[in-house]
A and B are shown apart, each in its own frame.
Chain A
Amino acid sequence: MTARRLSVIAASVLVAAAFAWAFVIPNLRPHVFHGVVMQSLAEAPAIDLQATTGDLVSLDSFSGSLVVVYFGYTHCPDVCPTTLSTLNKALSRMGDKADDVEVVMVTVDPQRDTVALLAEYMAYFNESFIGLTGSVEDIATVATTYGVYFAANEGDGESGYTVDHTAHLMVIDRAGHLRLVLPPHLGPEEIAADLEYLS
């Protein structure tokens, strides 16, 4: 075997190895979730609230879809718009797979977040995003069953009060089970990867 032929074979092997490393091996690896996986046998707790679509909704309304549940409010200047914008970017990355993802934000400030305000606020980030509201008691019930904390603070000036709240995203799978908790500050790419895997 000539030295030239040996060089050609070695180069071919190197190219094949690089191709496998770049395109084949990543697809063989199991998906590593960015969020915290929940192994819940029971169905996700009920959510029966007033939707910005004008209907009363329950989780059954979204049966067969992945549901991303967030608790936030429209007077929130930083984390809530950042989260909704990030979710919109995540869905954009998912292409057609995003059609089966429902994003809902349950307001933790029902006194100020009217249905009309919530509807316009949510639609700005993505036409498909839905806001949910209800009485303080109903929202507290839903939040408690999801392990979500919220409490209003005394405010000053025009900003009025702020509301402390759990900033995690909860993902309910197609079978209606709470499957994933996404911590705040995950980027669109990471969220899209987890949602695509579950979709």
Chain B
Amino acid sequence: MKRIVGFVSVAAIAVSACGSPPGVEARDAWSRPVPPVAPATAVFVEIHNGTTDVVTLTGADSAACSELQLHETALDEAGVMSMRPLAGLAIAPGDKETLAPGGIHLMCMSPDTALEEFAITLRLRNAEDVVVEVIVEDR
């Protein structure tokens, strides 16, 4: 009987260690505080692709932004900053992409600047949407 109980316990631990199947995880989402009159702000986030497929970030939605667009800031050798919309950001299986200042970001139009945190939904191709909480803080 003890052997059976032991076997069941080990099996239960093994199942719980596997947990839910690996998926896409969004971490450390943040946005800089901006003036109430600011027409736009940027949202930054780390996206980990725990799946076995290429996952593509195609955009995002949030009640705190009238529109959220995927953009890329680039700086050329002359110090000229330019910003362009991105159709998508592909993340290889097991890899991560970090949206960070001066690079790729989610441009939040007409932000609700009164919020100290807000939720965004990342729209993904090849994976389910991911909701992540964005912390508003000056870094």
Chain A residues in contact with chain B, CB under 8 A?
Answer: 74-79, 81-82, 85, 112, 117, 120-121, 123-125, 149, 153, 156-159, 162, 164-168, 183-185
**Chain A CB within 8 A of B92 CB:** no
Assess the B85–A77 pair: CB atoms within 8 A.
no
Identify A81's interface contact among B41, B66, B110, CB under 8 A: B41
* Contacting residues, chain A, for B40 (C-beta < 8 A): 75-77, 159
* Contacting residues, chain B, for A165 (C-beta < 8 A): 80-81
Q: By the criterion of a CB under 8 Å from any partner CB, how many residues of chain B are at the interface?
A: 32
Assess the A159–B69 pair: CB atoms within 8 A.
yes
Assess the B38–A158 pair: CB atoms within 8 A.
no
Listed from nearest, the 5 A-B pairs whose CB atoms lie closest are A124-B35, A77-B40, A164-B82, A167-B81, A77-B42
Chain B residues in contact with chain A, CB under 8 A?
Answer: 32, 34-42, 66-67, 69, 71, 73, 75, 78-85, 101-102, 105, 107-110, 138
Q: Are A158 and B101 CB-contacts (below 8 A) given A85-B32, A164-B80? A: no
* Contacting residues, chain B, for A77 (C-beta < 8 A): 40-42, 71, 83, 105, 107-108
* Contacting residues, chain A, for B38 (C-beta < 8 A): 74, 81, 121, 124
* Contacting residues, chain A, for B102 (C-beta < 8 A): 78-79, 82, 184-185
Assess the B81–A184 pair: CB atoms within 8 A.
yes
- 18 residue pairs bridging A and B, Cβ less than 8 Å apart: A75-B39, A75-B40, A76-B40, A77-B105, A78-B102, A79-B101, A81-B32, A85-B138, A121-B35, A124-B38, A149-B78, A149-B80, A153-B82, A157-B109, A159-B107, A164-B83, A165-B80, A184-B79
* Contacting residues, chain A, for B107 (C-beta < 8 A): 77-78, 159
In the assembled complex, the Cα of A117 lies from the Cα of B36 at a distance in Å of 10
Assess the A74–B81 pair: CB atoms within 8 A.
no
B78 smallest CB distance to A (angstroms):
7
Identify A74's interface contact among B37, B78, B79, B110, CB under 8 A: B37
Q: Are A184 and B75 CB-contacts (below 8 A) given A159-B107, A164-B81? A: yes
* Contacting residues, chain B, for A82 (C-beta < 8 A): 32, 101-102
Assess the A81–B34 pair: CB atoms within 8 A.
yes
In the assembled complex, the Cα of A165 lies from the Cα of B80 at a distance in Å of 5
Assess the A74–B67 pair: CB atoms within 8 A.
no
Of all chain A residues, which has the CB nearest B76? A164
Assess the B105–A78 pair: CB atoms within 8 A.
yes
B23 smallest CB distance to A (angstroms):
28
In the assembled complex, the Cα of A164 lies from the Cα of B35 at a distance in Å of 22
* Contacting residues, chain B, for A76 (C-beta < 8 A): 40, 83
Of all chain B residues, which has the CB nearest A72? B81
Identify B39's interface contact among A74, A79, A168, A183, CB under 8 A: A74
